[in-house]
Amino acid sequence: MDSFLVRGGNPLHGEVSVSGAKNAALPILCASLLTADPVRVGNVPRLRDINTCLRLLGSMGVQCFWHGENELALRAEEISEPIASYDLVKTMRASILVLGPLVARFGEASVSLPGGCAIGQRPVDQHIKGLQAMGAEIHIEKGYIHAKAKRLKGARIVTDMVTVTGTENLMMAAALADGTTVIENAAREPEVVDLAKMLLKMGAQIEGIGTDTITVQGVDKLNGCDYTVMPDRIEAGTFLCAVAACGGDIVLNNADAPSMDATLEKLRAAGLSIDVEGQRVRARMAGRPKAVGARTAPFPGFATDMQAQLMAVNCVADGTAVINETIFENRFMHVQELVRLGAHIEIEGHTAIVKGVPQLDGATVMATDLRASAGLVIAALAAKDETRIDRIYHLDRGYDRMEEKLRKLGADVKRVSE
């Protein structure tokens, strides 16, 4: 099992390029199931979750080939089995995204109930409710969702909560349905917009992209296309939090600043100087950050996927910050690990009260989920002495060669395997 050894206390300097967005690439790869034609996807990050997705698609008969470093060619001309097995789905909740495309194009699907990070309950009832409204017969047996429909029918769907993967699943299913589907209370995240843009290139008819009401006019057939995945706003935000905590002067290339407004606002309030020029973002920090609170919310609010990273900044900030987590009930598991590094944090329900300290200490800590691991890396970079972060495979699920990029910025980070 791999670990990181991080010797902190040094400001960051240099340039790195932001990889493609994991949360956009996964649904885009699953969308290849909607057509028999070839699909080419560029700017795909090299991640554990991407490899899991490709194994899942390959197990169904989808042809998947890498071209160069970050381009994938996929073809779902024939599907041997419309089944997503437990062994693959248990490690990545996004595997549920094959459900809508399979039912829409092939009329049936069996998908294991998903797993993923242990950050709280993330039920798929909204996916099921939406597909049932479109005429699918669904039953759950022995841990699998079994769905059938000769052809899905357009319907009006009002989700009980804002759900990103639910919106994506239903939008893909509706693209091949008979008639018009209206998805109300839809997610507005940039990654949902990115998927919709790809579906448009495939011939889908979608209106209301980026709003909370998406209207999809179903078509008989979708075609293949070439598409480039958007930059990862969470990876970019993570590097910005790192320089805010450690100080320094860094440049991010291939960054999508408009998708990061909430993160940029918080970090500017913390004292980070940020200059944006197209897809180039420069960030400078001369002193200790100022404490800044946050409340997680669906886009365009502050992303729950940035909560752990901002908390790490607040651990070394001047003042006290209050962070409210409204999306996942178990997303404070990194707190006890930050405390091991000398952080002063109190938890009251879904609220964390963080009193900044001048400097953290090195220690051995354990990553509990994907974004928690990123927060621990930031804290370790700001700590004195050496920190060991175990179970770093969580980080590999969502960050493309993070240690290499950090070393380009002058950080002392080493991966060790046991």
Which residues are catalytically annotated? 117
DSSP-derived 3-state class of residue 235? helix
Contact 263, 240 (CB under 8 A): yes
Residue 406 tokens read as 């950090």
CA 204 to chain centre: 24
Contact 287, 271 (CB under 8 A): yes
Contact 238, 399 (CB under 8 A): yes
How far apart CA 205 and CA 247 sit, in angstroms, is 47
How far apart CA 299 and CA 383 sit, in angstroms, is 32
How far apart CA 317 and CA 238 sit, in angstroms, is 16
Long-range pairs for 136-140 at CB < 8 Å and ≥24 separation? 136/103, 140/113
How far apart CA 356 and CA 287 sit, in angstroms, is 14
Identify any residues that bridge with 360 across adjacent strands, giving them in sequence order: 383
How far apart CA 169 and CA 113 sit, in angstroms, is 14
Task: Return the H-helix or E-strand segment holding 322.
Answer: strand 320-324
CA nearest 297: which of 323, 268, 321, 319?
323
